[in-house]
Amino acid sequence: MGLIAPIKDLRSEKQLFVARVILSSVISIILLGIVIVRLVQLQILDHEQFAEQSQGNRIRIEAVPPTRGLIFDRNGRVLAENLPAYQLELIPEQIPDVDDTLSRLARIGLIKEEDITRFNALAQSGPRFKPVTLRFHLTDDEIARFAVQRPRFPGVDLQPRLVRHYPDGELIAHAIGYVGALSTTDLQRLDRAAYAGTSHTGKTGVEHFNEDLLHGDVGYQQVVTNALGRQVPIETRDAAANLPKRVSPAPGANLHLSLDLNVQRVAYEQMAGRKGAVVAIDPNNGEILALVSMPSFNPNAFATGMSPSDYSALQGNEDRPLFNRAVLGTYPPGSTIKPMLSLAALEVGATNLTRRSVCFGWYSLPGSTHRYRDWQPGGHGEVDLHDAIEQSCDVYFYEISRDIGIDTMHQYLTQFGLGSDTGLDMAGEADGLVPSREWKRQAFRERADQVWFPGETIIASIGQGYMLATPLQLANAVAALSIRGQRYRPHLVAAFEDSVNGRRTIIAPEPLSRVDIDKPFYWDNILNAMHGVLQSPTGTARAAGLDAPYDMAGKSGTAQVFTVAQDEEYNEEEIEERLRDHALFVSFAPLEEPEIAVAVIVENGSSGSRIAAPIARAVMDQYLGYSDVEL
């Protein structure tokens, strides 16, 4: 019987165990070495780098918005300022039920019911420790109402802020414009870094066009935060000492406008209850003295926050208070172009200073039975060019228009700035239109519609048909008339001022090309005829000018809203108000050394001489110092 092998080999097992211990020890030593090497790298070699990154994670840079520049009129009166105000803010993480809190705020009249959904969405969209602004500006009564009930609203509080304020509200709304909350479209257009921390931007008018000057440069401050990004207080003096210094924002520049607030106020009050516009210009440099569009709106409502329903109601108003008629409204200029057309006719020989015509109250083209009517049904009798301007005889201009031709009309009227934007320092100006044969060929697709007809020249001679102009263009044109063809680019900003050191930069007048009519006696005759419009016993607007203490000149106009049939009479009393003729008037004063030129349009006002001329007179009285009105 053979030997039996042992069940356990103790020696082999011992050798295997020792080998495993050695291998484990080697691996552990290697791993420990790796950890030690990594610790050395992190704690010694890369200490400075990671310490800096740690400080960066602990400290967050917060933008400090700049103070917006102020806006003044030509006499230093404030048109736009920044006032301290309290805004209502909500911090979502401190409120158990945001929807209930918002509902209770609505019940006490601090927010509107319709805004609850929007505010709820805002509260959910960002970090819950970030405040959500519910109201940008609370009245004293609202502040008191909230203060009494503050214990019922944990997580809701009042915070002091600067809010844009327009002391004169509707009076300057269309000229100055307004600021509003930044929108997605604004953020796409603007530099986000430059607007960090800023909640509002200029939307229209001077506020929008001069945004770069008014906004200023953003600053920053560094705050200590925890791992969640929430700001925490600085507990030690050493921690505060280690923070980098705060960089203060640079405030925006102050703007000094050419607007005269007193003249603006008179124009606004004269237009009360009407629709239309008034523009006044200094002919000697292009400075805008007044720019009024009616009806107007309260720009403070945009600066302090407007609900969607309020904005929709304002935008849906059939009288269009948000529409700036002074620079965007285009109207047939009517007879206000007759002085300019007269200069063109004299220059090209279509008439002369002695030519006389007989006005029977209508005119027909040769071979046509269609009658182009004069505004005076019985006619004006025998008239020359001076009489035709002073009495606004349509028939005289019907006759000479055939010899002038539409292309020559276009050539000279565009020299006065009609048919294109004036270059005013305000965005969105309309072009208007002075038609020509070439324009019609480009404007219409059908060949039959591209033909220019003689009858279209006839109606263009009294500023009707396709012809369109803005009130600003008409004011600029009569300004050029008043100083015999010299033109300047209109502008609202007269100077801007560094709000820190007070250094002021003056905006120099920008001359434009002169009107190409050199004979002084042509200008003399036309301007004297315009003087007769207001201060001659036979002038169409004599009621507005005969008692004036200074010499003035002007031209009335009427623009049809709809066409009256050949066999019908225009009866103002039987026509719906919105279908009545527009009333226009352009004027300047004093006659010899003009200081102010004015254009007025009253929508559906029917009579330029009766309705628009007194408004122009009141504006000129105020600027020239002859007004009895205390402002």
Q: What is the pLDDT of residues 569-614, one digit of tens each?
A: 545 555 666 677 889 999 999 999 999 999 999 998 878 889 999 9
Q: Identify any residues that bridge with 72 across adjacent strands, giving them in sequence order.
A: 78, 256
Q: Concatenated DSSP letters for 293-323?
A: EES---THHHHT---HHHHHHHHH-TT-TTS
Q: Average the pLDDT over each of 332-346, 472-486, 492-506, 560-574 and give the range with the smallest value.
A: 560-574
Q: What are the CA-CA distances from residue 94 to residues 91, 155, 201, 225 (Å)?
A: 6, 5, 30, 18
- Name which of 537, 405, 544, 422 is nearest 478 in CA terms: 422
What whole-number distance in Å separates Cα of residue 234 and Cα of residue 148? 32
- Name which of 209, 199, 197, 310 is nearest 255 in CA terms: 209
Structure confidence at residue 229 as a pLDDT band (50, 70, 90): very low
Angle, in degrees to the nearest 10, between helices 338-348 and 394-404: 40
Superfamily of domain 261-302+325-567+574-624: DD-peptidase/beta-lactamase superfamily (3.40.710.10)
pLDDT digits (tens, 9 = 90+) for 495-553: 999 988 989 999 999 999 999 998 999 999 999 999 999 999 999 999 999 889 999 99
Q: Measured at the alpha carbon of residue 512, what is the angle toward residues 510 and 515, in degrees to the nearest 5?
A: 150
Please, which residues have CB within 8 angstroms of residue 460's CB and are 6 or more apart in sequence? 401, 406, 409, 435, 466, 467
Q: Are strands 71-72 and 254-257 parallel, antiparallel or unpaired?
A: parallel
Tokens 């948000």, residue located: 322
Q: Identify any residues that bridge with 495 across adjacent strands, giving them in sequence order.
A: 256, 506
Global pTM reads: 0.83
Query: Percent of the chain having pLDDT more than 90?
Result: 54
**Cα–chain-centroid distance for residue 428?**
8
Please, which residues have CB within 8 angstroms of residue 487's CB and are 6 or more apart in sequence? 416, 417, 476, 479, 480, 511, 512, 513, 514, 515
What whole-number distance in Å separates Cα of residue 271 and Cα of residue 278? 8
What whole-number distance in Å separates Cα of residue 58 and Cα of residue 598? 63
Containing 381, the helix (H) or strand (E) segment is strand 381-383
Please, which residues have CB within 8 angstroms of residue 193's CB and are 6 or more apart in sequence? 218
The first and second tokens of residue 202, run together, are: 């200029």
**Cα–chain-centroid distance for residue 157?**
34
pLDDT digits (tens, 9 = 90+) for 63-91: 778 889 999 999 999 999 999 888 888 88
Q: What are the CA-CA distances from residue 629 to residues 114, 292, 455 (Å)?
A: 45, 19, 47
**pLDDT of 6 over the 70 cut:** no
Q: For the chain, how many residues are written?
A: 631
**pLDDT of 231 over the 60 cut:** no
What whole-number distance in Å separates Cα of residue 328 and Cα of residue 332? 13
What whole-number distance in Å separates Cα of residue 359 and Cα of residue 355? 13
The first and second tokens of residue 144, run together, are: 């008191």
Asked if the bond preceding 167 is cis, omega within 30° of 0, the reply is no
Is residue 156 within 8 Å of residue 283, measured between CB atoms? no
Superfamily of domain 62-252: Penicillin-binding protein 2a (Domain 2) (3.90.1310.10)
- Is 6 exposed, middle or buried, given 0-12, 13-18 or 19+ CB atoms closer than 10 A? exposed
The pLDDT score that the predictor gives to residue 5 is 54
* DSSP class of 608: I
Domain coordinates in residue numbering, the chain? 62-252, 261-302+325-567+574-624
Q: What is the 3-state secondary structure (H, E, C) of 14-45?
A: HHHHHHHHHHHHHHHHHHHHHHHHHHHHHHHH
Structure confidence at residue 50 as a pLDDT band (50, 70, 90): low
The first and second tokens of residue 28, run together, are: 């552990």
The first and second tokens of residue 302, run together, are: 């945009």
- Name which of 93, 99, 77, 110 is nearest 155 in CA terms: 93
Is residue 301 within 8 Å of residue 310, measured between CB atoms? yes
List of E strands, 38-116 = 59-64, 71-72, 78-90
Q: Are strands 254-257 and 219-224 parallel, antiparallel or unpaired?
A: unpaired
What whole-number distance in Å separates Cα of residue 183 and Cα of residue 359? 60
Q: What positions carry a catalytic annotation?
A: 335
Tokens 């310490």, residue located: 51
**pLDDT of 474 over the 80 cut:** yes
CA atoms within 13 A on the CB side of 20: 6
Rounded mean pLDDT, 477-499? 96
- Is 266 exposed, middle or buried, given 0-12, 13-18 or 19+ CB atoms closer than 10 A? buried
The pLDDT score that the predictor gives to residue 236 is 46
What whole-number distance in Å separates Cα of residue 155 and Cα of residue 429? 47
**Side chain identity at residue 21, one-letter code:** V
Rounded mean pLDDT, 396-420? 95
Across the chain, mean pLDDT equals: 86
**Side chain identity at residue 476, one-letter code:** N
**Range of 7-16, 186-195, 215-224, 311-320 with top mean pLDDT:** 311-320
- Name which of 291, 64, 295, 304 is nearest 165 in CA terms: 304
